[in-house]
Amino acid sequence: MPDLDSVVREISEEMAARADRGAVADYIPELAHVDPGRFGLAVIDADGRLSAGGDSETLFSIQSISKVFTLTLALGMVGDRLWKRVGREPSGNPFNSIVQLERERGVPRNPFINAGAIAVTDVILSGHEPREALGEILRFMQFLAQDQTITIDATVAASEKRTGFRNTALANYMRSFGVIENPVDYTLGVYFHHCAIAMTCRQLAAAGRFLAHNGRNPSTGHSVVSPERARRINAIMLTCGHYDGSGEFAYRVGLPGKSGVGGGILAVAPGRASIAVWSPGLDEAGNSHLGRIALERLTQRMGWSVFGA
């Protein structure tokens, strides 16, 4: 097997040099200012060893990657009852589509499209003040990454709140079917804020380690979820983690992964490593263009695809 440090370094150098970088998301004004030239990669193996390259220590907005952690948290709170409020099938539609909601009476297809993540946030919020629910999500991220410095970028949250008309539409639409139970403003407030958590590639890779190792962080020994639940979250990441580009990601990369419009991707190589990559330019389906290419290189060279050595 090739040396992981060398592979990470070579990929980081190749990506830094590429001219094709996709387009930075502009639907959240605050994100549109990010330099498209950035690229970071961090890989933490089963022994806890970090291999990192590029801008792996730069903070970026994790956006929809937070959906993996809110799903984990909500499953811990209500267990399989969660699946009455959200499905777990690929949607076959873009990340912010409302068409499927009308056809299926307000129940979102899966927890990784916007509507589904808003429904999951509503479950976490139930019976709490928005501030408390948000605190719980943030502390969970800090605990997973073993890093108390992780915070929310309030400017990004405010920017999305000002312009998030489509998410407001989705939330009100689900509320009309009773799938959202709390005041829409509360649920969206928590949603916009957990999407605005800022992390580095290194922190994100650390936070995802429990998914790579049967629900348990092998360095701290903390058991986050059962092995079965870890496998199941990985399954949803693989089938639904990249919106209407999930099939393409599985085909090219072959790992469970979740992308965000901030340009980050968290990927999981079961038994082997937790991986975070970041490059702000997006492809047409809203996933990081260079992030996906970097992960394709990495799994090919390391033989990490779940679909064959």
Does 300 participate in binding a second copy (rule CB under 8 A)?
A: yes
For residue 91, state whether it binds a second copy (rule: CB under 8 A). yes
Which of these segments, 32-40, 62-70, 82-90, 154-162, binds a second copy (CB under 8 A)? 82-90
Quick check: is 261 catalytic? yes
Question: Which CB, 153 or 244, lies closer to a second copy?
Answer: 244
Pairwise CA distance, residues 257 & 255, whole Å:
6
Distance between CA atoms of residues 118 and 182, nearest Å: 11
Residue 46 in the binding site for a second copy (CB under 8 A): no
Give the ranges where 95-220 is alpha helix by DSSP (H): 99-103, 114-125, 130-145, 154-163, 165-176, 184-195, 201-207, 209-212
Residue 288 a catalytic site member:
no
Packing angle, helices 114-125 and 130-145, rounded to 10: 110
According to the binding rule CB under 8 A, does residue 63 interact with a second copy?
no
Look up 306 and say whether it is catalytic: no
State both tokens at 47. Answer: 């022994």
Clarify whether 173 is annotated catalytic.
no
By CB under 8 A, is residue 2 in contact with a second copy? no
- 112, 87 Cβ separation under 8 angstroms: no
Interface residue with a second copy, options 22, 254, 262, 291 (CB under 8 A):
254
* Residues 274/258, Cβ–Cβ less than 8 Å: no
Q: Which two tokens stand for residue 98?
A: 């409302």
**Of the residues 120, 173, 243, 288, which is catalytic?**
243
Q: How far is the CB of 295 from a second copy (least distance, A)?
A: 13
How is residue 79 written in tokens?
Answer: 């267990």
Q: E strand or H helix at 138, and its extent?
A: helix 130-145
Q: Which two tokens stand for residue 303?
A: 């033989």
User: In the set 256, 257, 262, 264, which binds a second copy (CB under 8 A)?
Assistant: 256
* Catalytic status, residue 27: no
How remote is the C-alpha of 201 from its chain's centroid? 12
Amino acid at 268: V
Among 187, 246, 259, 288, indicate the residue that binds a second copy (CB under 8 A): 246
- Would you tell me which residues interact with a second copy (CB under 8 A)? 87-93, 97-103, 109-110, 165-166, 168-173, 175-176, 184, 212-215, 227-228, 230-232, 234-236, 238-240, 244-248, 250-251, 254, 256, 270-271, 300, 305-309
Catalytic site positions: 64, 67, 191, 243, 261
